[in-house]
Amino acid sequence: MKKKRPEGIKTYSEPAGGWGALLAVAKTLKHQQVVAEGTAMLLKANQPEGFDCPGCAWPDPKHTSSFEFCENGAKAITWESTAKRVTPEFFSEHPVSELWEWPDHKLEDQGRLTDPMIYDAGTDRYRQIGWDEAFVLIGDALRALPDPNMAEFYTSGRASNEAAFLYQLFVRAYGTNNFPDCSNMCHEATSVGLPQSIGVGKGTVTLEDFDHADAIFSFGHNPGTNHPRMMTTLHDAARRGTPIIVFNPLKERALERFAAPQNPIEMATFSSTDIASAYHQVRAGGDLAVLKGMMKSIFERDAADIGSGGTGVLDRAFIAEHTAGFDELRRNIETTSWETILTVSGLTREAIESAVDVYLKAKNVIACYGMGLTQHLNGTGNVQQLANLLLLRGNMGRQGAGIAPIRGHSNVQGDRTVGITEIPNQALLDGIERAFGFRPPAAKGHNAVETMQAIIAGRSKALICLGGNFAVAMADPDATYPAIRKLDLAVHLATKLNRTHLLTAKTTIVLPVLGRTDIDIQAGGPQSTTVEDSMSMVHASRGFLRPPSPQLRSEPSIIAGIAKATLGDRYGIDWDGLVANYDAIRDKIEIVFPEFQDFNRRVRAKGGFRLTVAASERLWNTANGRANFIVSSGLDEDPALNHPGALVLMTIRSHDQYNTTVYSLDDRYRGVFGRRDIIFMNRIDLMARGLKEGDRVDVVGAGNAGFGKGNVRAARRLTAVEYNIPVGSIAGYYPELNVVVSLDHHDRKSGTPSYKGVHVDVRRSADD
């Protein structure tokens, strides 16, 4: 007998991509009432002469000018180029307390912000304000703080290099390094882990390297949804017969099979290509065990080979010439038992050995990874163990081999490159002094978690956000929301309305910005901005849609306005001159960061240019000048060791969302339609709790004190969905589940919140 499934839950058996994707784009275009130009815009995306898609940070294939179809890129673009508007009239009709009750999806779906607005507590409404008046209020409030370190300056990774560079210049001239950043919640484990391992916090491969890889390993990322243009690369590799080994608790459809919308045969015949040659459903948080297991097997095979007269399976010449720490690593791996490795990973010995077979057979290996590795208590350790695995066979700094962190926001990597960091190094401080003649503060500032802690403690009194939806993206809203409401000043540069804007402080100002798709005209004429993708390629981007309102200003010009109102002519920085023509900003970037040498000329070349990544040339900018094998002790993410009986919750993205932006309530590939209030669980975990699919449940956070000790962190009345997921792991949607994540549940080394390793229990809802 066929079981009745909960409402909106189906089994989706189509491949990813294909006709389903084309249909989804058509729907989005209609829903957003995209202006006619918007459709033409889609055709320009990721073209050498076009603009950079705000959807993700995957690079564009060089030298091609054919339109690369991407369903979620299309959604990102149409979402921005919508014909819907949020006007002063909208705000006068809806008090903030009413808007607060709206779902996140509905808030953003109202369209583009058209005017600068200030919150009026008397009427509980936002009302229009002039730009200059807004700048003066912000400047006065910032100058009124007794210490610049009492202000926090958040950046979300859509900001261009030019905007981010001006922003960090302003903030450092103001006097602080408080730079919380979306990257702190994302690839911070990469930014902290890889510099220690290989001397650079970025990936070492280029797009071309994928053509030369003999095997591709994929850990914890979902490209069919989050980096759809990567599917072209994986699809090509799979068709060439390159093994693709996936480690992911969920069977993500695009990693199983994919129909390329630009492949006429697959489209006409409804066929598809298998992507993963082996798919290992590791337990959430089990990657450290997998990686240690693979290395353990490699050491065992190496010893056996040498024992029988061979030369071993390691790249000994590379290890001797380029690395340090090999013996310590081997000792650490030898002390880790197979029993622990298998329990924590949830995989069989055969599965791990089969992955090692592929790894050792391949001359050149690329390892890709995403949030499944970084957003864990041991995120930095995970990243470093992956680097160790590659270094054992010299899979770093040669063609067809290397490490590929798959970045999030389209310019999150670039923002970091041009100075958004709470820990400025000597070179950055010297560079700013060289370019602008002042010495910026050197003291470490706040990252995202530290920012929220300072706001909660009342130590910080102002928050300025260059984009994003900071409060919703962070953990523990029960603690952060009331704290943000106590600030003196909250300022948001934004394209669309979101919940963080509704957390009103003493003075709250929302400033509408031009998006990536909009034409940006300054005193010196139409401007382009630049971005850096996941593979360190820097290229120009120019929007060409008419802006949604004549009131909108560009991010650089707004930052300059705030800077002038705050700093006057401190240090003699010519803010107007910088904004008149962004070439002037790029000239300064080049002085501060010599790797941008000849920036304005090189960025005008077709396809842009690649920033040097020393590790790609086997130059190791580490303290000891070598690539380091780094030990990560224990397998301490085993939930049983921390909270007996706990389940491990991973908070993930649906197919129809962009971070906190929810395009629709569907998650097609996972068979979820019209809802997000669900939790994916294994049948065994359901049965163990006397539950079945369709039951209403509460997900209760374990916190630090363990369960039941006055802990009220919970997401209530979710519907349990029986799903193909390892026993002990459960999954639900970000950001709704951030209520169960505690703020101090983060990677000890990088501060990355452990969004994929939340210790929870699931209980039947009380009133059910």
Q: Using CB under 6 A as the criterion, which residues of the chain lie in contact with ligand MGD when the complex forms?
A: 55-56, 72, 108, 156, 158, 182, 185-186, 219-222, 225-227, 247-250, 252, 282, 284-285, 287, 370-372, 375, 408-409, 466-470, 473, 493-496, 498, 513, 515-516, 555, 650-653, 657-661, 734-735, 737-738, 741, 755-756
- Residue 323 or 657 with smaller CB distance to ligand MGD: 657
* Minimum separation from the CB atom of position 450 to ligand MGD (A): 16
User: Is residue 220 involved in binding Mo ion (CB under 5 A)?
Assistant: no
Residue type, 248: N
Give residue for tokens 């560009």: 554
DSSP of 34-64, one letter per residue?
A: --HHHHHHHHHBT-TTSB--TT--PPPPTT-
Rank residues 111 and 419 by Cβ distance to ligand MGD and give the closer one: 111
Tokens of 200: 């650079």
Task: Report what 505 binds from Mo ion, ligand MGD, none; CB cut-off 5-8 Å by kind.
Answer: none
**Of 1-9, 179-187, 316-324, 429-437, which part binds Mo ion (CB under 5 A)?**
179-187
DSSP codes, 668-715: GGGTB-S---EEEE-HHHHHHTT--TT-EEEEEE-TTT-TTSS---EE
177 binds, among ligand MGD, Mo ion, none (CB under 5 to 8 A by kind): none
Binder of residue 108, out of ligand MGD, Mo ion, none (CB less than 5 to 8 A by kind)? ligand MGD
Q: Which one of 286, 408, 608, 732 is in contact with Mo ion (CB under 5 A)?
A: 408
Peptide bond into 54 cis (omega under 30): no
Q: Which is nearer to Mo ion, 5 or 653 (CB)?
A: 653
- Residue 183 or 206 having the CB closest to ligand MGD: 183
Please identify, using beta-carbon distances, which residue of 94 and 221 lies nearer to ligand MGD: 221
Among 56, 70, 96, 186, binds Mo ion (CB under 5 A): 186
CB of 454 to ligand MGD, least distance (A): 18
Kindly state the smallest distance separating residue 655's Cβ from ligand MGD, in Å.
7
Q: How far is the CB of 374 from Mo ion (least distance, A)?
A: 9
Q: Which string of DSSP letters, residue by residue, matches 120-188?
A: ETTTTEEEE--HHHHHHHHHHHHHHSS-GGGEEEEE-TTS-HHHHHHHHHHHHHHT-----BGGGGTTH
Query: What does the per-residue mask of binding to Mo ion show for 132-171, with x meaning CB under 5 A?
Result: ----------------------------------------
Give the shortest CB-542-to-ligand MGD separation in angstroms.
14
Q: In the bound complex, what is the minimum distance in angstroms from residue 558's beta carbon to ligand MGD?
A: 9
88-96 long-range contacts (CB < 8 A, ≥24 apart) are: 88/114, 88/115, 88/117, 88/126, 88/127, 88/128, 91/117, 91/125, 91/126, 91/127, 92/125, 92/127, 94/125, 95/123, 95/124, 95/125, 96/124, 96/125, 96/126, 96/502, 96/504
Relative orientation angle of helices 71-80 and 18-31, to the nearest 10 degrees: 0
Q: How many chain residues touch Mo ion (CB under 5 A)?
A: 2
| Cβ closest to Mo ion, residue 242 vs residue 382 | 382
Q: What is the distance between the alpha carbons of residues 433 and 440, in angstroms, rounded to a whole number?
A: 7
What does 372 interact with, of Mo ion, ligand MGD, none (CB < 5 to 8 A by kind)?
Answer: ligand MGD
If DSSP codes are grouped into helix, strand and coil, which group holds residue 69? coil
Buried b vs exposed e over 262-288: b needs ≥16 C-beta within 10 Å?
ebeebbeeeebbebbbebbbbbbbbbb
Nearer to ligand MGD, 214 or 656 (CB): 656
Q: How far is CA 251 from the centre of its chain?
A: 21
210 binds, among ligand MGD, Mo ion, none (CB under 5 to 8 A by kind): none
418/431 Cα distance (integer angstroms): 11
Q: Which stretch binds Mo ion (CB under 5 A): 265-273, 400-408, 515-523, 578-586?
A: 400-408
Structure tokens at 610: 């690649």
What residue 242 binds from ligand MGD, Mo ion, none (CB within 5 to 8 A, per partner kind)?
A: none
Q: From the list ligand MGD, Mo ion, none, pick the one residue 513 interacts with, judged by a Cβ distance below 5 to 8 Å according to partner type.
A: ligand MGD
Least separation, in Å, of the C-beta of 409 and Mo ion? 6
Please give the structure tokens belonging to residue 229: 């243009």
* Partner interacting with residue 284 (select from Mo ion, ligand MGD, none; CB below 5-8 Å by kind): ligand MGD
427-434: which pairs have CB atoms within 8 A and are 24 or more residues apart? 428/592, 431/591, 431/592, 431/593, 431/594, 432/169, 432/172, 432/592, 434/591, 434/592
| CB-count burial class (<10 Å; 0-12, 13-18, 19+) for 720 | buried
Partner in contact with 56, chosen from Mo ion, ligand MGD, none, beta carbon below 5 to 8 Å by kind: ligand MGD
Minimum CB distance to Mo ion smaller for 193 or for 408? 408
Dist CA 740 CA 743 (whole Å): 10
User: Minimal distance in Å, beta carbon 726 to ligand MGD?
Assistant: 10
Between 400 and 468, name the residue whose CB sits nearer to Mo ion.
Answer: 468
Smallest separation, CB 521 to ligand MGD (Å) = 17
Q: Which is nearer to ligand MGD, 131 or 571 (CB)?
A: 131
Residues at the interface with Mo ion (CB under 5 A): 186, 408
